[in-house]
């Protein structure tokens, strides 16, 4: 009889799975309304089994279309199968160390001071534009193809391990040096608005777009970049620019240097 009574007492617990703590009310409300909750509003939790199979989570679109606003993504660690995360909003912290399946991470326009992606080795696209990052370590992210980290406060950026990079966008930081000699697959490089005094793109023969305006460059050699189509190098300290090898070029913005930009454009037959 005692065993039967114990069994009956345990019956109500069957069906109640593991819960994930979600302290942000708007995040919980979104999950509840999209079939990822536990059916109880504002109890700071959702069923783990309802989120651990989710592969795509686009919270930025949700913010744009609704009045929801996310300031805390605690609980994201249990989205263990997540491959795509878009979470631009009002976040000050973001822990994706448990989301090891991530391939694309967009965390644009938050207030992040730090971002640890050392565990996200499958990452191919990272866009963390418009935060407050002073450091970004991408040395473990050797699968990265696109890195957009502009609009932060980076003083250094080491991409020597990221040999798969096709697009690098690191404008409007405080970089004084940028070594892209290992990034031979690079076709797009945007590094304007930094403090670069030197930029060697001689190994980047696949480069078709280069924007290095508003730096402190005194020399720019693009003789090896014969695939170059668009070049923006305005507001530097260049005294000359040899474009004789760049026959594919159809756009150049070179004003604000120490040579006659209009004369060069006329020589190249460009407006």
Every domain of the chain and the residues it spans: 133-271
For the stretch 214-264, pLDDT in tens is 999 999 999 999 999 999 999 999 999 999 999 999 999 999 999 999 999
Instruction: Provide φ and ψ at 131, rounded to 5°.
Output: -115, -155
User: How far apart are the C-alpha atoms of 11 and 160, rounded to whole Å?
Assistant: 58
CATH architecture of 133-271: Alpha-Beta Horseshoe (3.80)
Lowest mean pLDDT among 11-25, 54-68, 168-182, 207-221: 11-25
Contact 119, 139 (CB under 8 A): no
| Side-chain half-sphere exposure of 11, counting CA atoms within 13 A | 7
Residue 14 confidence (pLDDT) above 50: no
């Amino acid at each position: 009889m005692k065993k039967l009574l114990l069994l009956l007492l345990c019956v109500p617990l069957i069906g109640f799975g593991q819960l994930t703590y979600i302290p942000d009310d708007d995040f919980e409300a979104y999950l509840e309304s999209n079939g990822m909750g536990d059916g109880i509003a504002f109890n700071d939790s959702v069923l783990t089994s309802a989120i651990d199979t989710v592969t795509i989570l686009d919270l930025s679109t949700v913010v744009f279309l609704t009045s929801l606003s996310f300031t805390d993504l605690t609980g994201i660690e249990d989205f263990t199968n997540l491959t795509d995360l878009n979470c631009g909003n009002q976040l000050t912290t973001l822990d994706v160390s448990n989301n090891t399946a991530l391939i694309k991470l967009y965390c644009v326009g938050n207030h992040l001071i730090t971002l640890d992606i050392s565990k996200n080795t499958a990452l191919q696209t990272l866009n963390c534009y418009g935060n407050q990052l002073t450091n970004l370590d991408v040395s473990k992210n050797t699968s990265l193809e696109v890195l957009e980290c502009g609009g932060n406060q980076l003083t250094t950026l080491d991409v020597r391990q990221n040999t798969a990079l096709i697009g690098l966008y690191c404008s409007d930081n405080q970089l004084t040096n940028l070594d892209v000699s290992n990034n031979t697959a690079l076709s797009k490089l945007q590094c304007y608005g930094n403090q670069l005094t030197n930029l060697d793109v001689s190994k980047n023969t696949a480069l078709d777009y280069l924007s290095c305006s508003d730096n402190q460059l005194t020399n720019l050699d693009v003789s090896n970049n014969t695939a170059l189509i668009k070049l923006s190098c305005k507001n530097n300290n260049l005294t000359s620019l040899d474009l004789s090898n760049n026959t594919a070029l159809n756009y150049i913005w070179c004003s604000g240097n120490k040579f006659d930009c209009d004369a060069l454009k006329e020589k190249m037959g460009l407006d």
